[in-house]
Chain A
Amino acid sequence: MTIVLTVIVFSIQSAPFDWHLADGYPEPQVPDDNPMTPEKVELGRWLFYDTRLSGNNTMSCGTCHRQVLAFTDGKTNSIGSTGVHHPRSSMSLVNVAYASRLTWANPLLDRLEDQALTPLLGENPVEMGMSGRDAEIGALLESDPNYRPLAKSAFPDDENPYSVLNAVRAIAAFVRSIVSFGSPYDAYLAGDSNALSPSAERGMELYFSERVECFHCHGGFNFTDSTTHANTDVERVGFHNNGLYNLDASGAYPEDNTGLFDMTGKVRDMGRFKAPSLRNIALTKPYMHDGSIATLADVLDHYSRGGRLTATGENAGDGRLSPFKSEFVDGFELSDSERADLIQFLGSLTDESVLTDERWSNPFAH
């Protein structure tokens, strides 16, 4: 009897999580101390959309990461629960499970379990405003009639499943579950040669060309060079200065957005940011870490020039001349039709299914 029970328990615990991946796409890495289960993802889904996770009950994770916008917010700068403008623009969460480093420019953050604490507890800027109040999240799990059974089934082996740690683990598991490769480009790769228009096909050639050089930083199956997955021990991490600013003609960026420099204190890291995944990029405007470029056409102008010229104002300077600029941002000439082709290709990276998939929808809205 004991043996039979053991076998059953073992088989339940070791049932692999279904990522709904098509053939050929690797599974994400999952930390040993936070294995994926449907129950945990479901708990995380409720928590992700729960405004009680902010200090003044006004915002949830889903406020700045809206499913309809591929889990971004469409704003130049995101706005925290107390009204403070974040210096950065909200990043898409689609396929963030494959990111070798999280957020725009943090070499230390490689686990969603750690990253989730910053929006919850961060004070500068205040995002969700729970600093010093995180115990309230554990109390919510314990006292709320909806959460109690969810937490119990998500963490069945825990003596006390109602902890902040478990809430964070569940949110991380939910966010990690948002993986999808359902774009026309993926269909094209799978053999449907009609999935891309002739224009998008031409744009693809340009995208992967040495002339335009997009793929050096935005390459690989997730269109970013900071990618890892379950079938590799190789960890690729890249931070790049793409010539957006050059405040003092020696490469400075605005003080509240110096990128990797803020984390390392090394001058050579000034203005270096992660190249985000370009999946669903047509839906996630405005662009760049500070949302300072409005459209994809403007983004192409920026890279075509090889850096941005800011003529006047406090950010005046010619980013093209920055000493810290990436070697891949050299500039290029594009005809109008080539420009249109590239934009068509970028549009083919949009996965419409992500925007409506019930698995990642707001449970409070049902």
Chain B
Amino acid sequence: MTLARRLARRLLLGISLFCCAACPANRTPVNLEFSATWAGQAIRCGESELSLTDLRFFVSDVVLIDAAGGESPLVLTTDQRWQQQGIALIDLENGEGGCANGTPETNATLSGLVEVGDIQRIRFTVGVPFELNHANPLLADAPLDDSAMHWHWRSGYKFLRAGVTTVSDGFWLHLGSTACTGTVQNIGACRSPNRVTVELGGFSLQRNRINVDLSALFEGVNLNDGIRSDCSSGPSESACTAAFTALGLPFGEDSDRPIPSSVFQVGH
């Protein structure tokens, strides 16, 4: 870490400490839990008939909405591992079984501070904001230093990696921005940003978590044809169509944005 960045971090830490001391008492810590299911049943890395092979994703721009429509951002805390600069890495795989390319560490919880009100809705983005997405990952702090969450030939992060396997079939998805212009160190814009905005009603901070329904994500994928396939968000990959549709993302040069995603749900 450069001296300048170290100083900047100290300054930020100072500001946040000051804020905690000086802010109104209704700024309270919040933990938001994430889970994963397949057709209502928990899905894990392992050796069962249908198992997880990967599930990691970046969450940013979390906003909590009260009954009157008032919005308050969930200000993510910064730690040295899972959260920084308003983004969090959620890691629901534990490196076991078919998740051999993963890590033993998991992180199902996002932590932040919010001005508590009568929260009824939540909105968040699955993805890394453009300003952070195209910096050099070898110079980044955790969790943006995780090379498994980055693709170097397209520039930018894999916003979401998700995969399942059966005994004889499987599918995995790596989602991230494509069709970017410029060069790796100087990206202009990405024509397919591929960030997923999720907004969910009927949500209570005290009672609910966010569930990822992989059976919805892979609904259009044939897991019974004996062909293991994958999607790396490339525009020429026909295997991407189904997963992009499920996420409510346009795919292909002229496609319209399909209906909003049902992959992310309020969990109980």
Contacts and interface: CB of A to CB of B under 8 A. Distances in A.
Contacts of A114: 152, 155, 184-185
A292 interface: no
Q: Interface range on chain A: under 10, 10 to 19, 20 to 34, or 35 or more?
A: 20 to 34
A265 interface: yes
Interface string A253-289: 0011010011111110000000000000000000000
A111 interface: yes
A131 B252 CA distance: 28
Contacts of A131: 101, 147-148
A109 B138 contact: no
Contacts of B148: 123, 131-132
B101 A110 contact: no
Find the residue from B102, B147, B187 having the highest chain A CB count within 10 A. B147
A196 B211 CA distance: 71
A37 interface: no
Contacts of B237: 255
B227 interface: no
Given A103-B153, A121-B147, A132-B101, A109 B174 contact: no
Given A108-B184, A132-B146, A122 B101 contact: no
A7 interface: no
A118 interface: yes
B152 A118 contact: yes
Nearest to A264: B179
Nearest to B152: A117
Most chain B CB inside 10 Å of its own CB: which residue of A107, A134, A267: A134
Residue in A107, A111, A132, A261 whose Cβ sees the most chain B Cβ within 10 Å: A132
Nearest to A31: B185
Contacts of B181: 107
Nearest to B56: A132
A106 interface: yes
B37 interface: no
A321 interface: no
B184 A122 contact: no
A76 B253 CA distance: 31
Contact of B178 (A103, A130, A265): A265
6 contacts: A107-B181, A108-B154, A134-B147, A168-B138, A262-B236, A264-B179
Given A165-B138, A265-B191, 13 more contacts: A109-B183, A111-B183, A114-B155, A114-B185, A118-B152, A121-B150, A123-B148, A124-B230, A131-B147, A131-B148, A132-B148, A262-B235, A264-B179
Interface of A: 103, 106-111, 114, 117-118, 121-124, 130-134, 163-165, 168, 255-256, 258, 261-267
Interface of B: 101-103, 138-139, 146-148, 150-155, 174, 178-185, 187, 191-192, 230, 232, 234-238, 252-253
